Structure 1
Amino acid sequence: MSDNDGPRKTGRIMWLLAWVLVLVLMTWFFQQKLEQDYNPNQQVQLLDNHTIVLEQNRQGHYLLSGTINGEPVVFLLDTGATQVALSRPVADRLALPLGRPLLLNTAAGQVTGYRTHIKTLSMGPLTLYDLDAVVMPGRNSEVLLGMNALRQFELIQRGSQLTIKYLAP
């Protein structure tokens, strides 16, 4: 055994740790980039207290981070949806009560869903109160923001931006 074996072994361990650190940092960086590409509206851009601006994601959808009853969710704006709609796992996480069942017509056909009620729905400074919603089968993590919520706003799309302005009653 030579006198250089101890420092060599330490040097190899240090190189290994350095590479592991580089891989961890690159993984974290690219995960953040993927999340930003998926939902570019994690921080809502405000024009004033009644107006927000959203950026389209790479798929051409408008997603934004918000809350339902104070709990964080990701909304997907869906002008084709009649009501706010969420999956059963999201409803369970938010502790939303399931009301009576109803038949729903979706792009995938007819499914059974359940009525529920949302006390507060917030998108940045914009908060809606007492909204009906439906709980649908599926595993989607996004909450579809349907027309029963969107009709309270003026929506203006220009290029890849959507301006949402609350219409005061």
Structure 2
Amino acid sequence: MNIPDNRPRRAGRLMWFAAWLSLLGVLVLGFEFWLERQYNPNSELAAISSEGPAEVVLQRNRAGHYIAPGLINGQPVQFLVDTGATRISVPEGLAQRLGLKPGFASRVTTANGVATVFDTRLSEVRLGSIRLHDVPGNINPGMPGDMVLLGMSFIKDLELVQRGDTLTLRLH
């Protein structure tokens, strides 16, 4: 009696399964990359360096915000440009990781109501080629996540030009 050998068929099915699984993995990674670019089109921030002043051009994300990577005291952070914030506002957990020292407590009005924050000084804040020293900031214990609000304590020294979906920041 002859028993058929199903090993080649089984190996073929396994190869098809592996191919479909690999294709699915590539699609998921591609979709994640696309979503990240929609959320933060400035993830690879390009600084324009020329003979003139330091300048950075940001693209608006799908939600209408300007988000960009930057540095506080040499440590990488994500900034959300917020012209309604008086100072740079750092979430408490991130402030601890950055080694920021909390100073005097004060009450501020935010989009979510009144909050208690702690004054701090940021030795250096960098956005692309724009670098400022000794910038006032706040440590905000009630602020979730790691997004830093890039407020007017940084922006006040810049010229802002918005055209369409781009925001140009220029140090004057």
TM-score by length of 1: 0.91
Map of 1:160 onto structure 2 = 165
Map of 2:98 onto structure 1 = 94
Which residues in structure 2 correspond to 1:16-55 (within 5 Å)?
16-49=17-50, 50-55=54-59
- In 1, the alpha carbon distance for the partners of 2:119 and 2:12 equals 63
1:99 positional shift? 2.1
Cα shift readout 1:70-97 (whole Å, capped 9, x = no counterpart): 2211111111100000111221222222
Cα shift readout 1:78-129 (whole Å, capped 9, x = no counterpart): 1110000011122122222222322121121111111222111111111111
Which residues in structure 2 correspond to 1:95-110 (within 5 Å)?
95-110=99-114
Q: Which of 142, 147, 164 is 2:152 aligned to? A: 147
The residue matched to 1:59 in structure 2 has which SS? Answer: coil
- In 1, the alpha carbon distance for the partners of 2:149 and 2:63 equals 16
Q: Which of 1, 4, 11 is 1:2 aligned to? A: 4
Q: Structure 2 counterpart of 1:121, which letter?
A: V
Aligned length: 166
1:154 positional shift? 0.4
**Which shows bigger deviation, 43-52 or 86-95?**
43-52
**Which shows bigger deviation, 72-81 or 105-114?**
105-114
Using a 3 Å threshold, how does the CA distance of structure 1 residues 111 and 25 change in structure 2: closer, same or farther? same
Q: Which of 112, 125, 131 is 1:127 aligned to? A: 131
- In 2, the alpha carbon distance for the partners of 1:98 and 1:131 equals 14
Unaligned runs of 5+ in 2: none
- In 2, the alpha carbon distance for the partners of 1:24 and 1:93 equals 34
TM-score by length of 2: 0.89
- The answer on 1:118 being equivalent to 2:119 is no
- The answer on 1:67 being equivalent to 2:71 is yes
Higher radius of gyration, 1 or 2: 2
Unaligned runs of 5+ in 1: none
Q: CA RMSD in A?
A: 1.5
Alpha-carbon contact 2:119-2:139 (below 8 Å) kept: yes
Alpha-carbon contact 2:71-2:127 (below 8 Å) kept: yes
